[in-house]
Amino acid sequence: MPGPIAIGDEAPNFDLTSTEGAVLMLRDEVIRTAVVLYLFTDHEGERVRRDLAALAAGRERLARLKARVLAAAPAPIARLAELQKALDLRFPLLSDDRSFCRLYGVEPGEEGKPGAPALAVVDRRQQVRFLANPVTAVEAALPEVEKILSGLPSPTAGYPRAVLNRCVEWWINALRRGRRASPA
């Protein structure tokens, strides 16, 4: 079995059940936005709660940088939903029932000692751009994550000019139609 992934590697895809009642797939998420991925094993630990709270506090800044926050743990969806509600998290928690976290080197700890969480940034090409394993504290890592996200190209950077021009033309025509239809 190959070792854990590293920066520059292609991020392994997943299809995991979320606390929002949907199955999320990484390859579907990265098409729209970069993903900040927090992986943990101790869903009851104080450290994880602090990290998740830091991600919740930084969610708006990350959204402005075109990134979505996801967190995954090998815990039942009901327990993750309780955690999400208790911390008032506005991002999905994913139930890792397929050992996805292990691909990032996140292993359950020994009895009485929780495993260390990891933080990763996956870009729109599904490549790992940042990986902190273990992450010392999400709050301390967020400035570096934001710097990396701000350096990523626009989601439309690779689109052919003809596609962009058609989209702009459609948008302008829709605005014009709306003006004619509105009363003067």
Delimit the domains of the chain by residue range: 15-153
How many other C-beta atoms lie within 10 A of the C-beta of residue 173? 10
Mean pLDDT score, 131-143 = 91
How many other C-beta atoms lie within 10 A of the C-beta of residue 33? 19
pLDDT at 184: 43
pLDDT at 134: 87
Q: Which CATH architecture does the domain made up of 15-153 adopt?
A: 3-Layer(aba) Sandwich (3.40)
pLDDT at 158: 64
Q: Which of the pair, 32 or 128, is modelled with greater confidence? A: 128
pLDDT at 153: 80
pLDDT at 4: 75
CA–CA separation, 26 vs 10, rounded Å? 11
| pLDDT for residue 104 is more than 90 | no
User: What average pLDDT is seen over the chain?
Assistant: 87
pLDDT at 91: 95
| pLDDT for residue 49 is more than 80 | yes
Residue 53 banded pLDDT, cuts 50, 70, 90: very high
Mean pLDDT score, 85-101 = 93
Strand order in the sheet with 34-39: 23-25, 15-18, 93-95, 67-73, 34-39, 118-122, 128-132
Answer for the pair 16, 98: CB distance below 8 angstroms, yes or no.
Answer: yes
Residue 11: burial class (beta carbons within 10 Å; 0-12, 13-18, 19+): buried
pLDDT at 136: 87
pLDDT at 71: 96
Give the three-class secondary structure for 35: strand
119 is written with which tokens?
A: 């933080």
pLDDT at 9: 94
| pLDDT for residue 157 is more than 80 | no
Residue 159 banded pLDDT, cuts 50, 70, 90: low
- Name the DSSP letter for residue 41: S
Residue 180: burial class (beta carbons within 10 Å; 0-12, 13-18, 19+): exposed
